[in-house]
């Protein structure tokens, strides 16, 4: 049975780069999850052309039943050893792009929780889950991200979502609410990663979150480029630099790394903190 890694949002440039690194370096079969069938077909074809066994599965990460079906599909393909939760959406709006604050929050939070729950049950000993956080929670005041509500997610997830949605809608205008949805969601992912690591560690499963900085790609905005210039290294990151980190964390070389958030941001957070000193 081959080792299998599930990558959500895997048909985009970041996901495809991660899939190539993990598939080739760790000799894993990749199951790519995305909402676009056309993007999935293209990604799978590119991976197979590179000699990496790959399958695609169209799924909405906010739908618990579709997530369960996807994980079952991956488990039928081999031994589930990896999960990389890359699916997410920008809070920025535009003339042809409007999303609610609830959508921004749910794609990050539901997608992470549903996949972590399903995959951790199917995952073999030695497995690794990587969740995606952000630099953003470190750029706002601590205690401003509804942290007191987070433990509710482990007791009554639907009530947690309802209370977070209400707090988001009361937090400001449309754009502010979307920005908060992104920041609060990523802060929750860090919290949830630490909590989950302690629940599944004795099963031989590691759980880590990674906070990317500003990475080259079509979604990079002017404000992000400004942050990158202020960073310790003074530049944006490259997709392959993130992919190398994901592959390392998935490997046995990182067998003692769990329950922590690893910033891969070129020193953005460090630079901004230094400015305040």
Catalogue all structural domains in the chain, each as residue range(s) with its CATH number. 3-271 (3.40.50.720)
Bridge partners of 206, per DSSP, are 128
Q: Within 10 Å of residue 98's Cβ, how many Cβ atoms?
A: 10
The rounded percent of the chain whose pLDDT value lies above 90 is: 86
Q: Do 131 and 192 meet the contact criterion of CB atoms below 8 Å apart?
A: yes
Q: Kindly state the average pLDDT of the residues 92-107.
A: 77
Residues 164-207 pLDDT 10s: 999 999 998 999 999 999 999 999 999 999 999 999 999 999 99
The Cα–Cα gap between 170 and 152 comes to 19
pLDDT tens across 209-248, in order?
A: 999 999 987 667 667 888 899 999 999 999 999 999 999 9
DSSP 25-71: HTT-EEEEEES-HHHHHHHHHHHHHTT--EEEEE--TT-HHHHHHHH
What is the distance, to the nearest Å, from the Cα of residue 266 to the centroid of all Cα atoms in its chain?
18
Q: What angle do CA 30, 243, 182 make, to 5 degrees?
A: 95
Q: Are 73 and 63 in contact (CB under 8 A)?
A: no
Across residues 105-128, what is the average pLDDT?
96
Give me the chain's average pLDDT, please: 94
What are the pLDDT digits (tens) for 55-98?
A: 999 999 999 999 999 999 999 999 999 999 999 988 875 544 56
Q: What percent of the chain has pLDDT over 70?
A: 96
Nearest by Cα to 212 from 101, 61, 85, 127: 85
User: What is the rounded end-to-end Cα distance, in angstroms, of the chain?
Assistant: 54
Cα-to-chain-centroid distance, residue 4? 18
Amino acid 218: pLDDT: 66
- The confidence score (pLDDT) of residue 219 equals 65
What pLDDT is stored for residue 95 in this prediction?
45
> Residue 27: what pLDDT?
97
Distances (CA, A) of 249 to 25, 83, 130, 205: 12, 11, 8, 12
Q: How many CA atoms lie within 13 A of 159 on its CB side?
A: 8
Question: What pLDDT shows up at residue 222?
Answer: 64
Q: What is the pTM of this model?
A: 0.95
- In the DSSP assignment, the letter for residue 153 is G
Mean pLDDT in residue range 115-140: 96
């Amino acid at each position: 049975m081959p080792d299998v890694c599930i990558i959500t949002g895997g048909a985009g440039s970041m996901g495809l780069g991660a899939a190539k690194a993990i598939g080739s370096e760790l000799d894993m079969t990749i199951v790519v999850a995305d909402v676009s069938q056309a993007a999935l077909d293209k990604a799978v074809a590119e991976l197979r052309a590179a000699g990496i066994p790959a399958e695609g599965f169209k799924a909405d990460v906010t739908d618990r039943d579709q997530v369960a079906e996807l994980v079952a599909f991956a488990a039928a393909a081999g031994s589930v050893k990896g999960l990389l939760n890359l699916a997410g959406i920008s809070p920025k709006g535009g003339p042809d792009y409007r999303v609610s604050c609830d959508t921004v929050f749910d794609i990050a939070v539901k997608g992470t929780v549903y996949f972590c729950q399903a995959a951790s049950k199917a995952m073999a000993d030695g497995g690794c889950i990587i969740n995606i956080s952000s630099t953003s929670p470190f750029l706002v005041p601590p205690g401003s991200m509804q942290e007191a509500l987070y433990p509710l997610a482990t007791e009554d997830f639907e009530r947690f979502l309802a209370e977070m949605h209400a707090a988001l809608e009361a937090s400001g205008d449309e754009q502010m609410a979307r920005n908060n949805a992104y920041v609060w969601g990523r802060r929750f992912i860090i919290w949830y990663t630490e909590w989950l690591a302690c629940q599944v560690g004795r099963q031989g499963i590691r759980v880590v979150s990674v906070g990317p900085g500003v990475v080259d790609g079509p979604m990079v905005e002017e404000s992000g480029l400004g942050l990158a210039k202020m960073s310790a290294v003074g530049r944006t990151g490259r997709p392959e630099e993130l992919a190398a980190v994901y592959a390392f964390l998935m490997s046995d070389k990182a067998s003692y790394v769990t329950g922590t958030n690893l910033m891969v941001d070129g020193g953005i957070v460090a630079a901004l903190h230094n400015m305040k000193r």
